[in-house]
Structure 1
């Protein structure tokens, strides 16, 4: 017997895999069984058709059952698998470039669709959520400042339902418990874990620990992490372009009595401004920023600035959103910090990692939540023989 929770997780994962099959570019051989009463052959065909792989094959064996490799006459099945594997190893691997995935590709197509008018049900949902904002503090904050704003994220991090009435607090609790915000809180935990790991690695190498967060918002995950390692000398520069976030970060640093945190205004996409920061950081952070911008050119420009701001051998901690089950709801109902529809273009993990690699970093670690929505990665700044590694 299989536990119900395991079956539910399998169903959710299979649904996500089917919906996001376009992210797969690996050569793929699929084998289907005509008498399989466990797995839907229709779903298998849908998955196969959505694959972005340039090399893909699907064969259906009409008289085979679910345990296809346990069939009595399985020699034809095994032979096909063997031939496919031998053929793949006989050819050089195909390594597609995703640097222009913002201009062509299935996430770009999805982004374009979200920019088209939606159905009436989303207008109704928007009206309902605006009404809820009169009672729920979190929803009200989202409508006033943008659901993607630093202040909104800080409210989600705190995870303390508040409202004008008991009903308002109940609405706020439901809002904070949505799958997206649960994923965001898990991302925060992964950020803190990754940052602490980078601090300890840098300290063990005998290098000064200098942190630079180029879009820190209120800076909660950095400031709370610094409190957990008081024995290590650390300095941090927290930058943001919005004054309200700068004020919130300064207040939080003062509340925690941290005098090693400097908060300043700055544009995360200004390459020259980032490159001019002195002294150079040994740990750079960009969290929750690139997910808000579709253009890869803008991201590459920002990463180039970070590459110049981080010492060779230093670390970059970056986030990504390869998947979200509520992309359409978010884009058609919620508003961003600029008062516009909060429409995002997802980046596959392969795309984001290529952007980072093209900017002079080598990925060494990654964390991801149980729903596969948000990743937190660590990359090392590549150094040449002319550079001394930190």
Structure 2
């Protein structure tokens, strides 16, 4: 066993252990994720007991656990820790040469929820996923404990909750019980924000497990005192992959892979991994999901009108009426009603995040409008875009490439110009485009306001015109597509747009693209809000991250890294032209 550290996305050095393959050249990498309160040393026995000598094993100490730094049991957010996992797997790939398709993940409890969320949100094409007693729903035996924790956190801020779980309720193995009780690295407290966000992420991933197509094995402990079974079964039934296994282990406590009779569970894991590594990687082709797939079915349901005589039809009719009334007082709602809630004008207003309206009441309504979960996600997407624009420009400059920026659907272009202003590497040319004359006029004025006419220009253009994009001059070294593809359900349009960009860009050029794999208010948007396209209903077909990434890869790009907000709504990815 070798002890190492890696730098995560925020520069924090996280601790991990490596067990190199004993037989020489490794056939693949197996990443082990420990349960909550524990650390990588608690899963070390799995590397030995699985008997897979032809594979390298890796086990980290999650942030705030074991020998990794951070306040015990705390992380800035659950999404922060999921991104830690993404960095960990990329570190393994970059340092030890294991492709993501030659990597499997074996995860327990909270670690299993981290793994499932990572696979859902980042769509890595790993070889296999094994989840042992995932903590999709932790049993809090005090009535209304979750609601109480949420209220107290809202009033007092983040605090810590101590685990009630005794070692004897985790396993029947006396040696494991003794080692747990004597282990000085066990972390009893868990931060309230992590506990609450664990529930939120679990609910989202269980409900949307159709997005997960990785070959998955689920192990369920039959006598689990820590987590509930029902969400585990629901997750399995919702899984979108064609290769999946579910095994219920009677009498097992929560520490499934550390139970007294764990050989029964480990043999199932071993057999599953051997078959998966013996066969070619299984990757579902999602590029025709717009024709048949669960997100197409979802969009079709939302596009079906409701009878005004039905309770739901009446509810949404009243909601639409209340929005129209709100538009008399709120500047933001009025902008959405006038130009479409998906328009560049509305997005620019949301970016500014300054409530305006008729008197104090109008500003209050506008504040509520701006604080909707979708708009908060949009503003976080802007932050991620600006971060990756700066990173892309710095990378191109370091490689000695010219800095020529193109945004094919820039809205007013505010996020691009803000990012350029914050970047030390300045583009020699900035070409902004949009199909809306309003956006072109507003964007041109914004360029003039910032005195960038010498390097920046705004043009009216069709982002789906393959030939026009391919003929773009100067040839871009950084192209941006933000908030566009999410508005159009047909993948043929996206393929046409990406094909034009690919032809315009030389190898080594970079592409930034956004996605929306999930949204908590899809029905409200479809039933109550209008689009910029003639005031029609704003009906969105979600694309899973896997679908979006496959469309980009098919056009000739290799994804490098990704960002996602803590609610799991909007993603921003960087890809390289190959």
TM-score when scaled to structure 2?
0.65
- 2:512 is the alignment partner of 1:324: no
1:366 and 2:554 equivalent? Answer: no
Is 1:268 the equivalent of 2:463? yes
Task: Look up the SS of the partner of 1:193 in the other structure.
Answer: helix
**How far is the alpha carbon of 1:232 from its aligned partner?**
3.1
Match among 289, 305, 313 for residue 508 of structure 2: 313
Bigger shift: 286-295 or 124-133? 124-133
Q: Cα gap change, 1:231/1:112 in structure 2, threshold over 3 Å: closer, same or farther?
A: closer
Q: Does 1:258 align with 2:452?
A: yes
Distance 1:35 1:220, change over 3 A: same
Residue 402 of structure 2 corresponds to residue 208 of structure 1: yes
**1:107-161 alpha-carbon deviations (Å, 9 max, x no partner):** 1111111112342222222211111111111011101110000000000000001
Shift of 1:15: 0.7
Alignment-derived partner of residue 217 in structure 2: 29
Q: Classify the secondary structure of the residue corresponding to 1:317.
A: strand
- Tell me which of 292, 300, 318 is aligned to 1:104: 292
SS in structure 1 at match of 2:226: coil
3-state DSSP of counterpart to 1:313: coil
Distance in 2 (alpha carbons) for counterparts of 1:231 and 1:81: 49
Unaligned runs of 5+ in 1: 383-390
Q: 1:354 to 1:241 in 2, by over 3 A?
A: same
* CA displacement at 1:230 relative to structure 2: 6.2
**Structure 2 CA distance for partners of 1:312 and 1:72, relative to 1, 3 Å:** closer
Aligned to 1:379: 575
Q: CA offsets, 1:187-244, max 9 Å, x none?
A: 0011111111111111222222111111011000111122224663521111111110
Q: Deviations over 1:10-31 (max 9, x none)?
A: 1100111111100101111111
What residue is the counterpart of 2:240 in the other structure? 52
CA contact (8 A) 1:176 1:182 kept: yes
CA drift of 1:91 comes to: 1.5
Q: Which of the numbers 118, 137, 162 marks the counterpart of 2:331?
A: 137
Distance 1:191 1:151 in 2: 18
Seen in structure 2, the aligned counterparts of structure 1 residues 215 and 63 have a Cα distance that, compared at 3 Å, is same
The SS at the match of 2:397 is: helix
- Give the match for residue 357 of structure 2: 163
TM-score (normalised: structure 1): 0.95
Q: Distance in 2 between matches of 1:262 and 1:58?
A: 57
Is the 8 Å Cα contact of residues 203 and 232 (structure 1) preserved in structure 2? no
Can you list the C-alpha shifts for 1:24-53, whole angstroms capped at 9, x where unaligned?
A: 011111111222233221211111111011
Instruction: Quote the offset at 1:62 in angstroms.
Output: 2.9
Larger relative contact order, structure 1 or 2 (CA cutoff 8 Å, min sep 6): 1
Report the 3-state secondary structure (helix = DSSP H, G, I; strand = E; otherwise coil) of the residue aligned with 2:508: strand
Separation in 2, partners of 1:166, 1:37: 52
- Aligned position for 1:335: 530
| Structure 2 spans left out of the alignment, 5+ residues | 1-161, 163-189, 307-311
Spell out the pairing of 1:125-204 with structure 2 (5 A cutoff). 125-204=319-398
1:116 aligned partner: 304
In angstroms, what is the RMSD of aligned CA positions? 1.3
- The alignment of Structure 1 onto Structure 2 pairs a total of residues equal to 382
Bigger radius of gyration among the two: 2
- Identify the range of structure 1 (219-228 vs 246-255) with the bigger mean alpha-carbon deviation: 219-228
Cα distance in 2 for residues equivalent to 1:312 and 1:67: 48
Distance 2:463 2:425 in 1: 30
Aligned to 2:488: 293
| Partners of 1:47 and 1:289 in 2: CA distance | 31
Aligned residue for 1:281, secondary structure, equals coil
Q: What CA distance in whole angstroms lies between the structure 1 residues aligned with 2:336 and 2:360?
A: 20
Distance of 1:90 and 1:236 partners within structure 2 = 49
Cα deviation, residue 4, structure 1: 2.5
Distance, in Å, in 2 between the alignment partners of 1:178 and 1:7 is: 23
The answer to whether the 8 Å contact 2:475/2:504 transfers is yes
More deviation, 143-152/37-46: 37-46
